[in-house]
Structure 1
Amino acid sequence: MTKQNSPLGKNLWFDGEFLHSFTIDNATYSLFPQATPFQLPLKKCSVVGNGGILKKSGCGRQIDQADFVMRCNLPPLSSEYSKDVGSKTQLVTANPSIIEKRFQNLLWSRKTFVDSVKVYNHSYIYMPAFSMKTGTEPSLRVYYTLEDFGANQTVLFANPNFLRDIGKFWKSKGIHAKRLSTGLFLVSAALGLCEEVTIYGFWPFSVDLHGRFISHHYYDNVLPDSGFHAMPEEFLQLWFLHKNGVLRMQLEQCEPLLQSST
C-alpha cells in the first residue's frame, strides 16, 4: 500500500473478510511510502519457502547470489541453516498470527521481537494488515515497535485489492482453499516485480524426489493446520509455471554435500 494507490479517505475492503471495510485515515495514511520503494523491475529474485527439502541442499550461496531475496514468515536464519538457505534478505513476510503466537501481540515482548528480526538486516517486513480485521492492530504494532526502537527494518502493508485479485486468479486455475499460502502470494508478487524468479523450499511432501523422508520445514517438523491451505494444488500450479519457463523451481541439491572420508 502506498500513498499513491491508497489515498486519504479511500474505502477498502478486507480481502479475507467480506463484511468489513475500513477508511484510510490520517494516522494510517502516514504509514505508507509515497510509492513502491523498489527500483523496478527487480532483476534476479530468489523466493525462499520454508520446506524441509532445503535441509542439506547446499543452496545458501545460490540463493544469496540473487539481487533480491524474499522469505516467508520470519524463518530462522542462524548459522546452522545459512549453508542451505542463505543469509541475505530484502523482504520477509510476517503474518499477524505469528506476532500473536510468538510475540504475544507485542504487548509484553517488544524488545524480544526487535532482537529477533535483526537477522534480516535492512529488509522490508511485508504484512497483510488489512486482510482480516483481527490482524490490523498487531500489524500496526509491528510498525510502531520497529519505529520506536529505531530498527533497520521497515514495514510494508500488503494491498488487500492485490491479495483479493491474486486469490481470484488462482481460484480460476483450480486452487480451492480457504486461503492461499503466504508462499504462493509471495511468488505471485515476485512474478510481477522481478525479471527472473527462482523459488526454493516449495515442496509440500514428506519425501524428496529420491524417496527419502524430509521434515515439513527445514527447521522443524510441525505440520500445518489441515484444511486451511491446498498445498499440493498450489505446488502443481507452480510446477506448471516451472515447466513453461515462467519461473525456475529448485528441487535438487545446489551443491553436493562433501562425503566424510572416515
Structure 2
Amino acid sequence: MKNNSMLSKIWNFRDIGDQLLYVYEKLVKKDWTANQTNAHSLRQELARYRPELNDSTTIILHQKNVKINDSIKKVYSKEPIKITPEIFHRLSKSDPIGLPKGKRYHSCALVGNSGSILHSGCGERIDKHDYVIRCNLAPLAPFKVDAGLKSDYITMNPSIIRTRYRRFRTRKAIKKFNVDVSKYSGILSIPCFGIRLPEVMKAFKLFKGKKPKMACMNTKHFQSVIDFWGSTGAIDKGLSTGFYMVSMAIQLCDEIDLYGFWPFSSRFESNKTDVAYHYFDNIRPDTAEKHHAMDQEFSIIVQLHNLGIVNLNIGSC
C-alpha cells in the first residue's frame, strides 16, 4: 500500500486510551479564543463556594491571616500543624503574592512537568508572561529553550523532600536543596502537610546566597479547591499539584496559558511518538497515578480549554 493512500492516514488504535488521547489532541489543536465571560462565571462559582476561593490573600499563610498557636489542618491527614513562634516569625509579614484586592495578573503561564514540552521551543513565549508559575522545582537552565527561565511562583511537593533531598538528613542534601532553589526567583511555596515544616525552614535558612522567598501554602485553600471539584463529581481522588495550580491561576490571572500538561505516554500527530512523564528526569507515572486522577483532571482541563478559560498548549511554539 502506498504511503499517500487514504488508508495510510487512518490509525489502528490499540485500546480505548489511544482513542481518547487522539480525540483530546484534535480538540486542543482547534483555534483557541479566550472567553472572559466564561472565566468570570467560573471565578464567581469558586467565590460562592467558599470565601477563601474569592480572595488571593488566602492562598499562602502569612502573619496577617494566621496567629501564633493556631492549628492548621493538614490535607489528607487528621494531624494538624501548630503555628509555633518559630514558624510564625518565618512567615511573610503580609501576602507575598501582593495583588491589590480585586486585581489579577493580565497574562500567566503555568508550566507543568510533562515531557510534551520537550522540543516545543516555547521558552521565549513563556518568559514573556506577566506571571510564571512552575511545579516541583523542575530545573531551568538545561531546558530554557522549551520551558523558559522566568519564575514567579514555584511549588514543591512533600515527596521531593523525601526523595530528592533525603529529608535533609545530610549536609550534602541540604546544600543540594539550597543550590537548586537559588536558581529561582519569586516565591517558593512549601506545603504545610506531609513534611516537618521547621526542618524545611532550617535547611532553607542555612544557605546565604540568592534564593526565592519561602512561603507556606495554606492548606485551607488547598482543601477548598479539592472540595469544590469533588462536589462536581468530576474528580474522586486527591488533586495533583498541577491541577491545583490551574484552579489557583483562575483566581490570579485574566489569561492563562498551560504548557507541559499532557498525562499520556504518547502523542498523535503525523506520527505517533512517545512522551516522557517528566521532561527533566526518567520517573515513571505509576506512583503518581495511584494517588491522583490524572485522566479525570485532564478531561476537565480540556473542557476549560474549549470554554476559553485556559489555553492548553501541547505543540510547538
**TM class, shorter-length:** 0.7 to 0.9
* 8 Å Cα contact 1:49/1:202 also seen in 2: yes
Residue 232 of structure 1, CA deviation: 1.1
Residue 209 of structure 1, CA deviation: 3.8
Residue 35 of structure 1, CA deviation: 2.1
Which position in structure 1 is the counterpart of 2:126? 63
Cα separation, 1, equivalents of 2:223 and 2:284? 26
* 8 Å Cα contact 2:259/2:314 also seen in 1: yes
| Map 1:238-249 → 2, pairs under 5 A | 238-249=301-312
**Residue 144 of structure 2 corresponds to residue 82 of structure 1:** yes
Residue 172 of structure 1, CA deviation: 2.2
Q: Which runs of 5+ in 2 are unaligned?
A: 1-60
**Residue 152 of structure 2 corresponds to residue 94 of structure 1:** no
Residue 245 of structure 1, CA deviation: 1.2
TM-score, normalization by structure 1? 0.88
Residue 47 of structure 1, CA deviation: 0.5
Cα separation, 1, equivalents of 2:308 and 2:67? 37
* 8 Å Cα contact 2:96/2:187 also seen in 1: no
Residue 141 of structure 1, CA deviation: 2.5
**Residue 62 of structure 2 corresponds to residue 7 of structure 1:** no
Cα separation, 2, equivalents of 1:23 and 1:143? 15
Which amino acid in 1 is paired with 2:246?
V
Which position in structure 2 is the counterpart of 1:250? 313
Q: Work out which of the residue numbers 88, 113, 121 in structure 2 matches 1:50.
A: 113
Cα separation, 2, equivalents of 1:148 and 1:99? 16
Residue 59 of structure 1, CA deviation: 0.6
Residue 205 of structure 1, CA deviation: 0.7
Cα separation, 2, equivalents of 1:188 and 1:142? 26
| Map 1:99-110 → 2, pairs under 5 A | 99-108=161-170, 109-110=173-174
SS at match of 1:197: strand
Which amino acid in 1 is paired with 2:146?
D
Q: Which runs of 5+ in 1 are unaligned?
A: 255-262
Residue 203 of structure 1, CA deviation: 0.5
Which position in structure 1 is the counterpart of 2:208? 150
| Map 1:53-202 → 2, pairs under 5 A | 53-79=116-142, 81-108=143-170, 109-120=173-184, 122-129=185-192, 131-132=193-194, 135=195, 137=196, 139-151=197-209, 152-173=211-232, 174-177=234-237, 179-202=238-261
Cα separation, 1, equivalents of 2:89 and 2:260? 36
Residue 217 of structure 1, CA deviation: 1.6
Cα separation, 2, equivalents of 1:2 and 1:103? 26
Aligned residues: 245
Cα separation, 2, equivalents of 1:22 and 1:142? 14
* 8 Å Cα contact 2:123/2:149 also seen in 1: yes
SS at match of 1:216: coil
Large movers: runs of 4+ above 3 Å: none
Which position in structure 2 is the counterpart of 1:212? 273
Which position in structure 2 is the counterpart of 1:20? 79
Cα separation, 1, equivalents of 2:278 and 2:262? 10
Cα separation, 1, equivalents of 2:308 and 2:112? 19
* 8 Å Cα contact 2:110/2:132 also seen in 1: yes
* 8 Å Cα contact 1:146/1:153 also seen in 2: no
Residue 42 of structure 1, CA deviation: 2.3
SS at match of 2:254: strand
Cα separation, 2, equivalents of 1:25 and 1:219? 37
Which position in structure 1 is the counterpart of 2:92? 33
Decide which structure has the larger Cα Rg and report it: 2
Cα separation, 1, equivalents of 2:163 and 2:68? 32
Residue 161 of structure 1, CA deviation: 0.5
TM-score, normalization by structure 2? 0.73
Which amino acid in 1 is paired with 2:148?
G
* 8 Å Cα contact 1:45/1:68 also seen in 2: yes
Cα separation, 1, equivalents of 2:86 and 2:73? 18
SS at match of 1:227: helix
Structure with greater proportional helix content? 2
Which amino acid in 1 is paired with 2:71?
N
* 8 Å Cα contact 1:126/1:156 also seen in 2: yes
* 8 Å Cα contact 1:70/1:90 also seen in 2: yes
Which amino acid in 1 is paired with 2:160?
I
* 8 Å Cα contact 1:44/1:67 also seen in 2: yes
Can you list the C-alpha shifts for 1:208-262, whole angstroms capped at 9, x where unaligned?
24132222221234223142111111011111111111111111211xxxxxxxx
Which amino acid in 2 is paired with 1:63?
I
Which amino acid in 2 is paired with 1:236?
S
